[in-house]
Amino acid sequence: MSGCCGSSDHCCRAVDVNGAVKQMYRASPVPNVGGTIRVPGDKSISHRALMLGGIATGETRVSGFLQSADCLATMAALRALGVHIVQPRGNEVIVRGAGDGGLQASATPLDMGNAGTAMRLSMGLLCGQRFSSTLVGDASLMQRPMERVAKPLRLMGARIDTQNGRPPVILHGGAKLRGIDYTLPMASAQVKSAILLAGLCSEGTTRVTEPAPTRDHTERMFGGFGIAVRRAGATVELAGGQQLRGAEIRVPGDFSSAAFFIVAGCLAAPDGLTVQSVGINPTRTGLLDMLRLMGARIEVRPLPDAGPEPLADITVHASALRGTVIPPDLVPLAIDELPILFIAAACAEGETVVTGAGELRVKESDRLAAMAEGLSAVGVRCDLLPDGIRIQGGRLHGGRINSHGDHRIAMSFAMASLRATDPIDIEDVANVGTSFPGFPAAARAIGMRLDEAAGP
């Protein structure tokens, strides 16, 4: 990369306490962006396709699979549990399911890396097995709350240990599970999915009631595997003892990855920017509603024959965004897109207020704190609220951002450069590969200037 000070790339490298060099981005302003791109497969759906395929009878064929660090962690865990998985091409995967009772104990702890979905859904998948399992992860995942999953699973009869509520999670084998009727204390698709997965090997019916709608990929995918699930209002229920049959899964482009480009288009695409073949499951697209409330020009063209997960091409044009009060009921439908929404708010005219977003404090980083810190570093006035943030839109200058190892913070600030007066240097970006391998190339493909400094 060209050097920050014009001579070498040294000042674009962050050195951690052990002397290891971490990856950095330098995102430099460009006048505008545009064109047509595709984003990699959906992370949530890729995890679920592997897991359901892993316990099904017969073969599951997955196309559009997201070959990212998070999903590869799920793949490695399933292999360690005796599932045969082949990958003829990067985004094509064939899972030869272990079938009913066919999973085997892993000889070593299952390492879920940075992936909360892998760990929490695996708790549901594995707590009813005859063998024990231990789940661990990277430094971020080892700090994340797991009791929200362990508690309802214990009510079902599972025997689970956590360490002060955090990983390592030990699932003791041989528990006999029974269905429960559980109301989630927080809107969480991971907790809902873990309970439903445990419900599959429970006696009786399992019912989960959500305080607000969350992503329903597990429920939709169950249908393809021959599992009957019923939804009545905010409650989803399934009968225990149902067998999964291998399925064909087409994974759509990840809306959460498309979100960075949708906002980039709103900020700087006078002639439009299109993201093709993106999943538009309505439990995921709250960002579109939020941006429209702010005055964004967005066109969604649904594609035919998409299967259980709807697909569309999305075109956005540069828009004069206005600050707004975000309706809290949209928040769970955009939970992973709030960091990039905050960048849109920083570039809008006037004030934007987001509340009801306390869950952001327990993501890969404390995303409220990390975003407030980063926004301040590029000159944006904001106030951190206990469950949200108040942002005064205005001019962004350049600066140095600590992404706190959080992929979505890193990618959000890359997009902020489109409205900055000077380059933004973003530290600790290696985890972008957990959800969006190829992000820098995709950013450059729309005309952005994103330089990388790799460590040795």
Task: Examine residue 387 and tell whether it contacts ligand S3P (CB under 6 A).
Answer: no
The residues near 298 (Cβ < 8 Å, ≥ 6 apart) are 262, 266, 288, 291, 292, 314, 315, 316
**Distance, CA of 12 to CA of 18 (rounded, Å):** 18
Query: Do residues 262 and 413 lie in contact, with contact meaning Cβ atoms separated by under 8 Å?
Result: no
Least distance (Å) from ligand S3P to the CB of residue 310?
A: 17
Q: Whole-angstrom Cα distance, residue 431 to residue 23? A: 9
Shortest reach from residue 267's CB to ligand S3P, in Å: 24
Half-sphere exposure of 42 toward its Cβ, with a 13 Å CA cutoff?
25
Query: Of the residues 336, 406, 425, 428, which is catalytic?
Result: 336
Closer CB to ligand S3P, 197 or 312, in the complex: 197
Identify the residue among 68, 190, 324, 365 touching ligand S3P (CB under 6 A).
190
- The answer to whether 335 contacts ligand S3P (rule: CB under 6 A) is yes
The DSSP symbol for 20 reads: P
Specify whether the CB–CB gap between 25 and 425 falls below 8 A. yes
What the block records as the tokens of 15 is 């050195």
Residue 305: which residues within 8 A CB-CB, separation 6 or more?
Answer: none
Using CA of residue 268, residue 415, residue 374, residue 361, what is the dihedral sign?
positive
Q: Which stretch binds ligand S3P (CB under 6 A): 129-137, 157-165, 183-191, 421-429?
A: 183-191
Give the footprint of ligand S3P on residues 344-363 (CB under 6 A): 359
List the one residue from 60, 117, 285, 431 that touches ligand S3P (CB under 6 A).
117
Which of 336, 406, 425, 451 is in the footprint of ligand S3P by CB under 6 A?
Answer: 336
Minimum CB separation from ligand S3P for residue 362, in Å? 8
- How many angstroms separate the Cα of 377 from the Cα of each of 174, 340, 349, 353, 382? 52, 16, 19, 19, 11
User: What residues contact 59, with CB distance under 8 A and at least 6 apart?
Assistant: 94, 95, 96, 97, 246
Which range, of 65-73, 86-94, 184-192, 412-420, touches ligand S3P by CB under 6 A? 184-192
| 189 lies in the site for ligand S3P, by CB under 6 A | yes
What is the enclosing helix (H) or strand (E) of 444?
A: helix 439-445
Does 208 interact with ligand S3P (rule: CB under 6 A)? Answer: no
Q: Which stretch binds ligand S3P (CB under 6 A): 76-84, 186-194, 243-251, 316-324?
A: 186-194
Q: Write down the H helix ranges in 32-142.
A: 43-55, 69-80, 116-126
Q: Which is nearer to ligand S3P, 65 or 424 (CB)?
A: 65
Q: How far is the CB of 30 from ligand S3P (least distance, A)?
A: 29
Q: How far is the CB of 348 from ligand S3P (least distance, A)?
A: 24
Q: How far is the CB of 225 from ligand S3P (least distance, A)?
A: 17
Residue from the set 28, 44, 106, 206 that interacts with ligand S3P by CB under 6 A: 44
Q: Which residues of 296-328 are buried (b: 16+ CB within 10 A; e: fewer)?
A: bbbeeeeeeebebbbbbbbbbbbbebbbbebee
188 near ligand S3P (CB under 6 A): yes
DSSP secondary-structure letter at 242?
P
Does the footprint of ligand S3P cover residue 215 (CB under 6 A)?
Answer: yes
The SS3 assignment for 240 reads coil
Q: Site size for ligand S3P, by CB under 6 A?
A: 10
- Closer by beta carbon to ligand S3P, 286 or else 398: 286
Active site residue 336: yes
The residues carrying an active-site annotation are 336
Contact residues for ligand S3P, defined by CB under 6 A: 44, 117, 188-190, 193, 215, 335-336, 359
